[in-house]
Amino acid sequence: MGNRGLMTGLATAALVSTAVGLTGLAQRYMASNGNYALWEAAGFALVLFPVFGMLGRQYDRLKRRADRDGLTGLWNRSFAHRCVVGLLKQATARRKRLAVVLIDLNDFKLINDELGHAEGDRAISMAAAALEASAVRGEIVCRWGGDEFLLLCPYADRQEAEALKHAIDERMEHLPLHSGYRMSASCGYAFFPEDGATFAELSQAADRRLYDNKRQAKCPPEPRRLEA
């Protein structure tokens, strides 16, 4: 996927060089100058392969930039929308499950307001690295926007999603933030097919559970009663 432009460029160069050689062979066959035509094709190949290869690499670089978030290097929102279409088709064909997980950093506004946007960007980058480090079973980690992230977990069930959330919590807890701040995140997930058949339905279900989780995190614990 990452070298599609390069491979296309090299294939184009090969086709053009071959076409030039065959044309030369056809024109010079009667005059027994076939070897000259082969050298002519080789000359074209020496010119075309570097040119088309360079153009292909440039295409690959631009494509990667278009699919990646500039701050974190994670896959971006537009890539997630395209990727989930294929994942849902695979899950449907194989009768498997797919988990869509939304992650939102708790109290991130305090970091921005009290420590500044540069420290906020640093916190988001560290959170992105923690999410990638937690994705050890093929999960696709995307930046959804702001301080929100999206994880696409092929064939994950509820137990695996809970284990993933636990791993994320542990990594977030040990992020080296300044001034004694500690990072935490709220999580909401939805599963194909029981929570929806489309990405829109799944992301809406995950979003509802995310904010339920965030409200629970903000509720103070009930005071413990002393036994008489």
10 Å Cβ neighbour count for 205? 19
- Dist CA 195 CA 204 (whole Å): 9
DSSP string for residues in 162-183: HHHHHHHHHHHHT---GGG---
Half-sphere exposure of residue 28, counting CA atoms within 13 Å on the CB side?
A: 15
Residue 108 contacts residue 119 (beta carbons within 8 Å):
no
Instruction: Verify whether residue 67 is a known catalytic residue.
Output: no
The CA distance from 140 to 85, in Å, is 13
| DSSP sequence for 97-137 | -EEEEEEEETTHHHHHHHH-HHHHHHHHHHHHHHHHHH--S
Measured distance CA(55)–CA(52) in Å, rounded:
5
Tell me the three state secondary structure of residue 153.
Answer: strand
Residue at 143: amino acid letter: R
Selecting among 147, 157, 169, 195, the annotated active-site residue is 147
Question: In 3-state terms, what secondary structure has residue 223?
Answer: coil
Residue 168 near residue 185 (C-beta atoms within 8 A) = yes
Q: Which residues participate in catalysis according to the annotation? A: 147
